[in-house]
Structure 1
């Protein structure tokens, strides 16, 4: 029976296959245009072109988020699909970092394998596009992986090198998104404090903190003084996102998964303490408990400070599962290293997270078993109301994704969008002002079609006061709005592409649209690549 158990390198091979194989899936499919992905493209394109953040453009975030997309732009070109390739790399990094953390904590192979599967299915598999609320957690996981390896290294030099790597990636986490990165740093201090108490290596905590701040100084000082204005730490013109009622309402009013996991983790710890009186001295077990509770706490806060999209914080499932499964297997004497119980548990996990893969399998099921619609057609026929038609859809402007098409422009290769958007971009390319001005054309592109900078092409504006994106109160402020307003009044631009999204609060400044109506001529309009299609892109010339 030994050949059917998890021994030697078998767990590592299976875990690696799960991480890599599922991460590679996006390379073989096409994608609808992603809402807000313009921001990922714009930052990556500017950095890959040699622009320096906070010198050539400003952002309330650090540039950590754009590092990998920029690298992939340099390798594969500034196409939308290159962002997907960058995300494949980030997903692989996250999977192996998560696996490394569990391995450092001594999680048994069977539970570790299942936990890796939960991590991939619950968190990374459906993340096809890079987004800062995901990248911040990837860098955190890599940093934690290095930190936990340092805890169990016998060599001082190796331990400090691992801590330096941890400090670097935790800083990148902060430099990607302040809230997630800041909580990652605080968790590291918590783990270091306990580990120092347990091992009597009291220098580890101040050494790590010193490394972190040295890395921060090296990365930040060359970016001053623009960094001090743009990077959001609650200073004017930025506003703080910390509101006590928001946290209490979200945590006590919902967060059912997080609270349920906390209860189960507490029960597992209580059972372990009852079984082993000196549990507090079991270093790996205590670190595992602190990590799990810390991640659950981070997730509870993260869902408030980073509220869109609503599933930013689901990285906690895999940590909670790993901890609870480890303790239950130990307390109940379940051997998940044997193939039969492991296969049974794997089927349960796959069933648990069927929502992440069924939407792909479901497309084939819908074709095999098409739904039959029955409706009243005359006297004597009953009107049928079911889950598919109990709400009447009266939105006549929406374009279902099934009717979206591909654009002929290379930067949008393998990305489909509403036909109106694709045809609208073709009309922009055919405008006389575009053909006559060529590379010298002055363009203000306040829309989600940022890759037009490569398709036309046109030169992006730069400057320490120029915003990376145009969401008023988030990505730019009144000072920048005043500058754009004056440029519009002075007819500085040859072509202005403006996206009007009336349902979004100044996603592109409403006040500037009023100026465009007065000082420019609108020559075209078409649907923005959103779902639902509730925004319009307007084209203006002098």
Structure 2
């Protein structure tokens, strides 16, 4: 793949502008409360407060995911919007790492620019909030970028430095999520093995593994012995929660994009490789093919091991596009070195990924061209019953609050974040409770809800301990031992106030057994919508039985009704 191309600096500027400018867009808007963002906030809040993972709290994951958000909390404060700022930084790092990988492989500037655009549109632009299933891949990309650079660096000292940095970020990938990080390590070892075979640098693989082992020991040993219990490496009480047919059903029964890309990669190689015996020694081309197929394989597995949300694995599009476009441009002599060809190609890519950016423009077109629908009236015989794609389903959910009617809280920690009005009002009532006003900083709170920023807003001191879970999903973030401890504390009235999120359609997302104990030993004084769509969860407010409760008659009447 040719590297000779005029105006190389101009290409670099355009590519970096695409990465940075699109990453900055979230800084200029507001956001609805994000489902599951509570975990990103509390992990970053605990880490930024000086708490030590696996000493002050436990998690089945390493703390790699929370490093960047915690640093941003230290700089900008623990507001929810700070997480968006952290994700802006993560998206920029991801884009630059992807670009670096393509540069190491000598992808031509035109294809590289278009591939960067595909990467940003397909994987970064809509990721406004940090989440571990995304960060694990970003660390992998950083590690791959350093590893690829080491392959084509001659000086041993510089090469080993790059390999050490690659090992660090691959470890951080594993220390963010075991599945993605483990596959990142295997992919790196496969690339290292081929490169060592071709260059006769036999020490590269053991050196990389040595760096990885030293880094792992340096991170893990200070966290023992709690790490051995909490970090999921297949030991009890953890379980894999996977079965062989999960993979076969998903890969063979779906995964259409991945299978199409594998087919196109095979066609490109079959059409373009004339002599396999000599091609196998073309290091950059073989590494590109191995990397692309490895990413596709990783994506196929990742969609099963990390199944929510369903688009976790779409990092593969940009790698497949870069490989296939490179080969097609060469085989079909397609020029991508003129403004006209690039504009046409860019327009096609934007059309391909229009679903990402159109939802923002669609907000304005909906206002310019409003659709007038006849309301559903079951007993109305004077008008025709107009049925269309917008109203053919009858919505019977009387608790739903459309996002268009969500509102902002007065609390600084929720700045620029809007929630259902009942949620905002419920938060205000919680902060106005006499027990909260009387005990101030000494109040003991168990907050089993998605409103983790209340720790800063109330404020109250988070519980700590080697056996205390970072989050409460039974069988995932905590186990029966922790459940028994919570039940015992509730029986002993350890907490002044308990906030519990009742989500009946989610399997013990907050343990149902805790709610049963609360109903026996605490008094329910309030209930309001949780900040999620669909509105399938309620936040319940409990206070200890026998405590001083000078609540208003209206609040007590509402509590009796809820019971």
Q: Under a length normalisation based on structure 2, what TM-score does the superposition of the two structures give?
A: 0.94
Say which of 390, 398, 401 aligns to 1:399.
Answer: 401
Say which of 400, 406, 421 aligns to 2:423.
Answer: 421
| Structure 1 partner of 2:100 | 100
Aligned equivalents of 2:388, 2:405: Cα separation in 1:
25
* 5+ residue gaps, structure 2: 545-563
| Structure 2 partner of 1:51 | 51
| RMSD value, Cα | 1.2
The CA deviation at 1:309 is: 0.3
Q: Deviations over 1:28-83 (max 9, x none)?
A: 00000000100000000000000000000000000000000000000000110000
Aligned equivalents of 2:402, 2:199: Cα separation in 1:
60
Aligned equivalents of 1:373, 1:110: Cα separation in 2:
47
| Structure 2 partner of 1:180 | 180
| Structure 2 partner of 1:258 | 258
Aligned equivalents of 1:154, 1:52: Cα separation in 2:
40
Question: Does the Cα contact within 8 Å between 1:375 and 1:382 map onto a contact in 2?
Answer: no
Secondary structure at the counterpart of residue 281 of structure 1: coil
| Structure 2 partner of 1:365 | 365
Aligned equivalents of 1:103, 1:504: Cα separation in 2:
45
| Structure 1 partner of 2:507 | 505
Q: Aligned pair 1:334/2:325, yes or no? A: no
| Structure 2 partner of 1:468 | 470
Secondary structure at the counterpart of residue 444 of structure 1: strand
Consecutive aligned runs of 4 or more in structure 1 exceeding 4 Å deviation: 374-381
The CA deviation at 1:241 is: 3.3
| Structure 2 partner of 1:249 | 249
| Structure 2 partner of 1:221 | 221
Which structure 2 residues correspond to residues 247-396 of structure 1 after superposition, within 5 A?
Answer: 247-274=247-274, 278-374=278-374, 381-396=383-398
Say which of 517, 528, 531 aligns to 1:529.
Answer: 531
Aligned equivalents of 1:8, 1:177: Cα separation in 2:
37
Question: Does the Cα contact within 8 Å between 1:6 and 1:109 map onto a contact in 2?
Answer: no
* 5+ residue gaps, structure 1: none
Aligned equivalents of 1:509, 1:375: Cα separation in 2:
40
Aligned equivalents of 1:234, 1:260: Cα separation in 2:
34
Question: Does the Cα contact within 8 Å between 1:500 and 1:538 map onto a contact in 2?
Answer: yes
Q: Under a length normalisation based on structure 1, what TM-score does the superposition of the two structures give?
A: 0.98
The CA deviation at 1:386 is: 1.2
Larger mean CA deviation between 299-308 and 374-383 belongs to 374-383
Q: Deviations over 1:116-172 (max 9, x none)?
A: 000000000000000000000000000000000000001111000000000000000
The CA deviation at 1:384 is: 2.1
The CA deviation at 1:96 is: 0.1
Secondary structure at the counterpart of residue 211 of structure 1: helix
| Structure 1 partner of 2:550 | none
Q: Deviations over 1:470-503 (max 9, x none)?
A: 0100000000000000000000000110000000
Secondary structure at the counterpart of residue 507 of structure 1: coil
| Structure 2 partner of 1:433 | 435
Question: Does the Cα contact within 8 Å between 1:233 and 1:240 map onto a contact in 2?
Answer: no
Q: Deviations over 1:1-49 (max 9, x none)?
A: xxxx852301100001000000000000000000010000000000000
Aligned equivalents of 1:468, 1:533: Cα separation in 2:
24
Change beyond 3 A, Cα 1:345–1:444: same
Aligned equivalents of 2:291, 2:313: Cα separation in 1:
15
Which structure 2 residues correspond to residues 73-92 of structure 1 after superposition, within 5 A?
Answer: 73-92=73-92
Secondary structure at the counterpart of residue 70 of structure 2: helix
Larger mean CA deviation between 403-412 and 335-344 belongs to 335-344
Secondary structure at the counterpart of residue 523 of structure 1: strand
Aligned equivalents of 1:386, 1:36: Cα separation in 2:
33
| Structure 1 partner of 2:128 | 128
